[in-house]
A and B are shown apart, each in its own frame.
Chain A
Amino acid sequence: MSAHEHHEHPTPAQYWKIAVFLAILTAIEVALFYIDEELDLQIFNAIALISLSTLKFIVVVGWFMHLRYERPLLTRFFTAGFVLAVALYLVVLSAMGIVAIRG
């Protein structure tokens, strides 16, 4: 372990709780897919699914990858790559006039 890793990481029991939380979020996502097929939630379905997916993403990166316990430099590197990629490809999709998602 590096000297800077002095923050308390979660315990195994806490990791299990985080995994259960992630599983519940996944179950809600799948349920939303079927609810949308019945009720046609349109844009609200896309917003809800992307929000849930983002939450899962943040939990895995923050707790399982321990980014929230690491030095800010790593967060900056990782966030920079993510933001650059999302911005770049949103520009591409917008330029092509296509956002081919349900909603």
Chain B
Amino acid sequence: MADLAHDTADHHPPHESTGIDNRKLGMWVFLSSEFLFFGALITNYLLYSNRAGYDGIYPAAIYDIPFTSVSSFVLLMSSLTMVLAHNALSRGDQNGTRTWLFATAALGAVFLGGQVFEFTEFIVEYGMTMQTNPAASAFYLLTGFHGVHVAIGVIMLLSLWGISRRQGELSEKHGMNLELVGLYWHFVDIIWIVIFTVVYLLSYPPT
């Protein structure tokens, strides 16, 4: 019975009344709910980022725009490598899939490294910590949670890459996993598109 269930799940996906794979539908609903999560954090930042009267330095006074622009470019290009991995798998190109998966994880790791560098610079050079003031706290909370999402994405990408290397190819089941991880990864990218504009390019310290 278990074998039959396994066989059915692997080779004959059950018919869903929506016509959409339930795992994919679930991922889209999850990502949709994530808008509320990140929306709360962005709103929190906008509420406190330029409110006058706090002690200590404000995040918007010390942003390194050229550096963050490069980080944004890196994350944007990781969306390209992700979609190329998906495309390679759909063409049956297993080597290409592995290469682009690894490239995506590497670009994600570079982005995370940049964030660690930025946080370190803010703390060591400017003394801006989570406790400095509500503006700094809101900044670290928002960008930190985004970084956690990127880190989870990198782990999932490396897991898929490892499975692909060990098995020599990604099966149909893992093909769906790659699609789901891809959706998650692109979502992390679009959240950064919003953060980069609203938090870095449009916010300013109190005058």
Which residues in A have some Cβ–Cβ distance to B below 8 Å? Answer: 1-4, 9, 11-12, 15-16, 18-19, 22-23, 26, 29-30, 32-34, 45-46, 49-50, 52-53, 56-57, 60-61, 63-65, 70-71, 73-74, 77-78, 80-82, 84-86, 88-89, 92-93, 96, 98-103
Contacts and interface: CB of A to CB of B under 8 A. Distances in A.
A78 B31 contact: yes
A100 B20 contact: no
Interface stretch (B74-82, B111-119, B124-132, B150-158): B74-82
Given A1-B175, A70-B20, A86-B39, 16 more contacts: A2-B13, A2-B24, A15-B84, A16-B80, A18-B80, A53-B197, A73-B18, A77-B29, A78-B28, A78-B32, A81-B32, A81-B35, A84-B36, A86-B35, A100-B49, A100-B51
B29 A53 contact: no
Contact of A81 (B36, B51, B202): B36
Contacts of A81: 29, 31-36
B49 A22 contact: no
Given A4-B20, A81-B33, A60 B40 contact: no
B190 interface: yes
Nearest to B35: A85
Contacts of A63: 83
27 contacts: A1-B90, A2-B13, A26-B69, A26-B72, A26-B73, A29-B196, A29-B197, A29-B201, A49-B202, A50-B197, A56-B76, A63-B83, A64-B82, A64-B189, A65-B183, A65-B187, A71-B20, A74-B20, A77-B29, A80-B32, A81-B31, A81-B35, A81-B36, A89-B39, A96-B47, A100-B203, A103-B202
Given A92-B43, A93-B47, A101 B202 contact: yes
B19 interface: yes
Interface string B1-42: 000000000000100001111001100110111111011101
Main secondary structure on B side of the interface with A: helix
A64 B179 CA distance: 11
A60 B83 CA distance: 10
Contacts of B72: 26
Contacts of B39: 85-86, 88-89
Contacts of A57: 190, 193-194
A101 to B, nearest CB: 4
A9 B90 contact: yes
